Structure 1
């Protein structure tokens, strides 16, 4: 994919250099021409090392693909786009430091990130203070577009409330309402489990569970506890590499014969990293590549595979949508000014070739949350190809799963 890493052509640089050279002789107007050729810089901060790295890399891949596509079609406001990627290393302090560097030193117009919700929230404090437009492609914790919502922050992935609301009725209907949670002990895990408990209690369910470190490796004590509880469903809320380790140990214990598996997210990157007997359960997919009735999706998947040699996951789609949102916002606002971009995205509807799914997909003005479909269904070993590991059983509209803006606790305040 190295050809995606050259967003500004050599010819452009030569032209800019010639203009600058000439300006020293002729006078200032030529500098304006040269600066017009400056790329629009977009900064992305994601955990490219650590347990969430596979998910983070897919978001970068999707953003890189969009970068090439946007540049091929004239850029943003007539300028080429340059995506600058930094590794947060799954660490809050590093994420904040990289965000400040991208804004202050690299002069990016927009920030994207982070997969880790805790880092995304810390980054949003920097971006709102510096009045920089910020998209969170894949950090799910509710407060980002809820109680801690900010005028400059928009989110592509679902809230934990949306993911829990979409799958809970399906799990209860199919398997029962006695559940055991294995949940990561950080922002995402706590809001996700809280959302599930709220939904489960409405349906008269009972539960038990454990909070474990985000990078936990040994699940034996928790799995023994789960076995003893005899739940109908085990909810594996871990993410990335940690979820893989948990699934492996779950199947080694032979527990798939004793209880159903399910939860919010079991992502394509994670499913593919596991052996067939661990490719199971009922889950949400926040976007899915196999939508044969949607021509835009069929074309996108074909083109994406040709360019990147991989099938796009929801994470690739998050990165792709984030970049195109910047393009659409800049065109609508005719500006890269943070407050103007933010106003342009409120209630912005994604065109079909970006939404890549049926129905109306928009950023809700009240809380800046994207309202896509949530695909619910069953994970299984590959059928017609290595990526055919999920069958859609239904689609839940984002608006239905999200509840009202008032429910989120967001009180949006725009800068004066």
Structure 2
């Protein structure tokens, strides 16, 4: 029989083991990883956009995890193809939230899908970081606090285009753009600002092909017949490629000036190669040759070493979006959506990216940055057109003012009250 003294001694011995080893065992248990659900178009003719975006997420997370993660936690990403369909995007969003239990959601490529997801983000109180969808209504008319846009939107690019084009003096303008939120908003913002700067501008036609149109012949013929001085185009990706190739035999590029708001995307320039005419006015949210900084050079090299191709603007913007999320979480010291929102809104959040510094402002959770326009010039070195005669339009000229935001907010107070029910 064990005496009371021995029992007490054994108890104290085991208690000391627990006290010494317990904290060590707890410390060894890895922290739960932060999970990001990523959805882009990853298949079909526009699939390159999602491919670049997914690659960028992988690259950024590898860098972040190699340095200890975020708040000491590793970061994981789940990838899904939304197939450029709003209903598929909504299914994926719900899967991310309900089954995968992700902390944040990033994407999509198409603004049509982003508009559908915005309401879900508010309903589920889940942060949605927009790194590719560029419709400005997402962060003005349809704004809700669970949306953050880390790329310059359609309004910013279009206003910048107006400042870039106005001095050139073209008076008779046409539009050709995809018939959904992005295309409509791009043209509306461009022509409104152009008329403000250049009051004698005349609109002589608007053309609205469906997204992923295959036959642009009737639209091209209409431009040829109308004989405008210039055409504004928000066609992007494979649509822009098909339009240019189908228009070349008509000689329209010799007689009409074109301004493509997404024309400097590698998803357009690389497939076109020598077929992209010189002297086309183009913009993109990023071009791999600029700026000439250590960070951009390192990004381009790392991307090429890993994926054996140059990074498109969708890659850089998504890469920047991941680092925005890192900065926001670290400022909040939490992954809780409410705390992250409060932290970002406490003061403007600035973070460095390959294209330069970006600033997230509290008024509309939109990025503040300059927009660069230029002209195409074929490069024998690269085998596709690069940019010349670059002009940077300052952010102060192109972002909505707080007063403008209040004027365009669509039922904001009502939507917020309903979301709290």
Superposed CA offset, 1:232-263 (max 9, x none): 11222212111111111111222111111213
Q: Does 1:80 align with 2:74?
A: yes
For residues 53-92 of structure 1, the aligned pairs below 5 Å read: 53-92=47-86
Q: Which residue of 2 aligns with 1:130?
A: 124
Does structure 2 conserve the Cα–Cα contact (< 8 Å) formed by 1:45 and 1:98?
Answer: yes
Q: Which residue of 1 aligns with 2:362?
A: 365
Q: Does 1:356 align with 2:355?
A: yes
Superposed CA offset, 1:371-407 (max 9, x none): 1221111122225434661225211122321130332
Q: Does 1:259 align with 2:253?
A: no
Q: Which residue of 1 aligns with 2:167?
A: 173
**Residue 306 of structure 1, CA deviation:** 2.0
Comparing 404-413 with 271-280, which one deviates more in the overlay? 404-413
- Secondary structure class of the residue paired with 1:351: strand
User: What is the total number of aligned residue pairs between the two structures?
Assistant: 388
Does structure 1 conserve the Cα–Cα contact (< 8 Å) formed by 2:187 and 2:232?
Answer: no
With the length of structure 2 as denominator, give the TM-score of the two structures.
0.86
Comparing 58-67 with 396-405, which one deviates more in the overlay? 396-405
Q: Do the aligned partners of residues 93 and 31 (structure 1) sit closer, same or farther apart at CA in structure 2, a change above 3 Å counting?
A: farther
- Secondary structure class of the residue paired with 1:329: helix
Q: Which residue of 2 aligns with 1:42?
A: 36
Q: Which residue of 1 aligns with 2:113?
A: 119
Q: Which residue of 1 aligns with 2:17?
A: none
- Secondary structure class of the residue paired with 1:249: helix
Alignment RMSD:
2.5
With the length of structure 1 as denominator, give the TM-score of the two structures.
0.87
Superposed CA offset, 1:29-65 (max 9, x none): 968964x433211001111124432122211111111
**Residue 320 of structure 1, CA deviation:** 0.4
Does structure 2 conserve the Cα–Cα contact (< 8 Å) formed by 1:133 and 1:153?
Answer: yes
For residues 138-177 of structure 1, the aligned pairs below 5 Å read: 138-174=132-168, 176-177=170-171
Q: Which residue of 2 aligns with 1:278?
A: 276
Q: Do the aligned partners of residues 243 and 388 (structure 1) sit closer, same or farther apart at CA in structure 2, a change above 3 Å counting?
A: closer
Does structure 1 conserve the Cα–Cα contact (< 8 Å) formed by 2:291 and 2:355?
Answer: no
- Secondary structure class of the residue paired with 2:91: helix
Which of the numbers 383, 386, 391 marks the counterpart of 1:389? Answer: 386
Does structure 1 conserve the Cα–Cα contact (< 8 Å) formed by 2:274 and 2:385?
Answer: no
Which of the numbers 177, 202, 205 marks the counterpart of 1:206? Answer: 202
Which of the numbers 267, 270, 274 marks the counterpart of 1:269? Answer: 267
Superposed CA offset, 1:341-380 (max 9, x none): 122233443333x2532xx520111001111221111122
Does structure 1 conserve the Cα–Cα contact (< 8 Å) formed by 2:351 and 2:359?
Answer: no
Structure 2: any 5+ residue segments left out of the alignment? 1-20
- Secondary structure class of the residue paired with 1:167: helix
1:148 & 1:308 partners in 2: Cα distance? 36
Q: Do the aligned partners of residues 380 and 398 (structure 1) sit closer, same or farther apart at CA in structure 2, a change above 3 Å counting?
A: same
2:303 & 2:387 partners in 1: Cα distance? 19
1:289 & 1:79 partners in 2: Cα distance? 31
**Residue 110 of structure 1, CA deviation:** 0.3
**Residue 185 of structure 1, CA deviation:** 0.8
Does structure 1 conserve the Cα–Cα contact (< 8 Å) formed by 2:283 and 2:374?
Answer: yes
1:275 & 1:254 partners in 2: Cα distance? 18
- Secondary structure class of the residue paired with 2:50: helix
2:270 & 2:138 partners in 1: Cα distance? 29
**Residue 220 of structure 1, CA deviation:** 1.1
Does structure 2 conserve the Cα–Cα contact (< 8 Å) formed by 1:216 and 1:242?
Answer: yes
1:125 & 1:323 partners in 2: Cα distance? 22
**Residue 122 of structure 1, CA deviation:** 1.1
